[in-house]
Amino acid sequence: MGGQEKRKHPRRPMYRVVRYRIGDSEYADLTTNISAGGVFIKNFSPPPVGTPVELTIKGDAVTESFKLIGEVARVVMDPDPHKRGIGVKFTALVADSPPMIENFIQRVFSTDKSHEAVFGTDG
C-alpha cells in the first residue's frame, strides 16, 4: 500500500477564482483542482484544519453558481507562498438543486482539456 493515494474521489485541474467565507471574513482565491468531494484553494495564510468554510463556485453558465459548506481538511504550508493552500472537504450543498454540482463536476471530468474548459474569472 505504500505511496497509494487514499482518495474517495478523483481530482481534476480547475483554475477558477472562488469566493469563500470563513467566519465573518470573505476571500477570493484561485482553485487548482476539484473533485466530487472537495476543492484545493491557494491561500497565502491558510486557516487550520477543521475550520468551517462557506464557498460559492461559479459554473460555466452566467447564472450557474453553487453554494457549498465545507471544512478545511488539509493545509499546505510550503516555504514558497505560491504553493500554500487549503484542501476543503465538501460537507453540504446549499442550493435548490444538488444535481447541478454533480453535472458541473461531470463536465469538468469529461473534457481532455479540463484546465482550458473550466478556466474562468469571477465577475
- Structural domain contains residue 46: yes
78-111 confidence digits (pLDDT tens): 999 888 999 999 988 765 545 666 677 677 666 5
Domain that holds residue 58: 12-110
Write out pLDDT tens, residues 35-80: 888 899 999 889 999 999 999 887 766 667 778 899 999 999 999 9
Task: Tell me if 122 is assigned to some domain.
Answer: no
Cβ neighbours for 86, distance < 8 A, ≥ 6 positions apart: 40, 41, 43, 46, 47, 53, 72, 74, 75, 76
CATH number (domain holding residue 83): 2.40.10.220
pLDDT value, residue 89: 94
pLDDT for the residue numbered 103: 72
* 115 is a domain residue: no
DSSP 36: S
pTM above 0.85, yes or no: no
Going by pLDDT thresholds of 50, 70 and 90, the confidence category of residue 12 is: confident
